[in-house]
Amino acid sequence: MKIVICGAGQVGFAIARQLADEQNDITVVDRDPALIQRVNDTLEVQGMLGFASHPDVLERAGVADADMLIAVTYADEVNMVACQVAHSLFNVPTKIARVRAQNYLSPVWRDLFSRDHMPIDVIISPEIEVAQAVVRRLHVPGAFDTIPFADGAVQVIGVFVGEDCPVIDTPMRQLTELFPDLNIVVVGILRGDRMVVPTGDDQIHAGDEVYFVADSNHLGRAMTLFGHEEQEARRMIIIGGGNIGLYLAHLIEGEDSGVRVNIIERGTERARLVADRLERAVVINGDALDREILSEANVESTETVVAVTDDDQVNILASLLAKRQGAERVVTLINNASYGPLISSLGIDAAVNPRATTVSSILRHVRRGRIRGVYTLRDGMAEILEAEALETSSLVGRPLSETRVPSGAIVGAVVRDGAIIIPRGDTVIKTGDRVIMFALADRVRQVEKMFSVRIDFF
């Protein structure tokens, strides 16, 4: 597959690295010489210096023969014009653009990106993606990651395993024997810096980070199984009233769940704007690193604090201060992936990485075959895919025990006519089933091929 990526920043670099590892033909365009040098030095792709929206630059990048253009430069307008040029001059089949400014995405202007105006096939908004990711974590307290599949019927959950976990040192195969009516499958264990797909003999240890697939109706029992019985928040503080904080507050108010929200915003004008746009949230103009401001927000009786400013260090420090002053749980926005390994040791309960959520959203539209959903874990260490099994799929028609699922991959759940099937060795996947699979990074391409068909592509 030939793909032109406009923008060599964090998101563009991550997408290029992942797709290049899967033997796609990738060209990356950026106006920053240092970023292009980094691409050429570290990735098996072609890096090209130039303005991503200029027709001659895109032509030299080979866009005329490209299957897809992904525009993720720092500027919304450059991304949009690049897609317009790719469509109007080069007839590129699929165009994806990252758009941050919420004004462009208002329902009032929904016709802007239609085929007759500015034809962009897929628009990715990091702010919306991050806010939705935070809300998902809030609904499953105790989880550091929650990813819905099959229209929400199945959840993939990431949890930290503490010393009080009831199933420590229990072989995986015994979980089924001990809890036969609990619809979950442990699909990945991160131990140190190594991710593994567990076998029946593997055990969970204290300190592990575990990913499991569960029927959404069984989440409460599943969380208890892993030692987590936290309650959903009724009081919340959002630190940062930017696009993410504002959209997050909108989502919470829209759920009409009765959750009381306080927002701390440092900028005076921005605080006024946020207060005007929200109905019930209380907006406090002040610095979240000030203990008195946190006390004014009633942090000592708040279940959850969410730090989503545009400064990683402020988010981390404000989260730690809030926890020290009595907050039960903190969720922290982290842009710099190098901070990731520090999060759990610092006492932060969950982190959200805008780059990871954006990359996952884009990959969903890149995958071959009937791939309906994709989520990238741990900076590309593994992926979770939801795919439709078609008649020609190698998975269909045989018991899983007789199917050549590659090592490093595992079927986590099968959805058939609305029913959730937790797979066993004798489970037979049928045409039309939706299959949720976990795969280590070097096995993703093999899994993708299992769902590909000869005359079908998107």
What is the pLDDT confidence band of residue 361, given thresholds at 50, 70 and 90?
Answer: confident
For residues 86 and 57, membership in a common domain is answered with yes
The answer to whether the beta carbons of residues 203 and 279 sit under 8 Å apart is no
For residues 242 and 348, membership in a common domain is answered with yes
The answer to whether the beta carbons of residues 331 and 137 sit under 8 Å apart is yes
What is the pLDDT confidence band of residue 369, given thresholds at 50, 70 and 90?
Answer: low
For residues 362 and 441, membership in a common domain is answered with yes
**DSSP one-letter string for 280-346:** S-EEEES-TTSHHHHHHTTGGG-SEEEE--S-HHHHHHHHHHHHHTT-SEEEEE---GGGGGGHHHH
CATH assignment at residue 290: 3.40.50.720
The pLDDT assigned to 47 comes to 95
pLDDT of 457 above 60: no
For residues 261 and 205, membership in a common domain is answered with no
Pick the last residue of a domain from 57, 90, 124: 124
**pLDDT average, residue stretch 196-212:** 91
For residues 142 and 120, membership in a common domain is answered with no
Residue 458, in any domain of the structure: no
Residue 259, in any domain of the structure: yes
What is the chain's length?
A: 458
Pick the last residue of a domain from 96, 124, 152: 124
Residue 340, in any domain of the structure: yes
Indicate the number of domains in the chain.
4
For residues 147 and 241, membership in a common domain is answered with no
Residue 455, in any domain of the structure: no
CATH assignment at residue 405: 3.30.70.1450
The answer to whether the beta carbons of residues 339 and 317 sit under 8 Å apart is no
Residue 255, in any domain of the structure: yes
The pLDDT assigned to 365 comes to 78
The pLDDT assigned to 425 comes to 86
Say which residues have a Cβ less than 8 Å from residue 38's Cβ, sequence separation at least 6.
Answer: 8, 13
For residues 213 and 292, membership in a common domain is answered with no
For residues 170 and 258, membership in a common domain is answered with no
What is the pLDDT confidence band of residue 453, given thresholds at 50, 70 and 90?
Answer: low
Tell me the per-residue pLDDT of 271-291, one tens digit each, with 9 for 90 and over: 999 999 999 999 999 999 999
Tell me the per-residue pLDDT of 135-165, one tens digit each, with 9 for 90 and over: 988 888 889 899 999 988 999 999 999 888 8
Domain residue limits at 439 = 358-450
pLDDT of 455 above 50: no
Nearest partner of 388 among 333, 334, 429, judged by Cα: 429
Enclosing H/E stretch for 11:
helix 10-21
Q: What is the mean pLDDT of the chain?
A: 89
Nearest partner of 207 among 257, 244, 269, 165, judged by Cα: 165
Tell me the per-residue pLDDT of 308-359, one tens digit each, with 9 for 90 and over: 999 999 999 999 999 999 999 999 999 887 777 777 778 888 888 888 888 8
pLDDT of 298 above 60: yes
For residues 265 and 318, membership in a common domain is answered with yes
For residues 442 and 343, membership in a common domain is answered with no
CA dihedral 434, 440, 445, 451 (to 10 degrees): -10
For residues 32 and 107, membership in a common domain is answered with yes
**pLDDT average, residue stretch 248-276:** 92
Residue 22, in any domain of the structure: yes
For residues 375 and 291, membership in a common domain is answered with no
Give whole-number Cα distances, 157 to 140, 297, 438, 441, in Å.
9, 30, 12, 18
The pLDDT assigned to 458 comes to 39
Pick the last residue of a domain from 296, 328, 353: 353
Question: Comparing 429 with 178, which gets the higher pLDDT?
Answer: 429
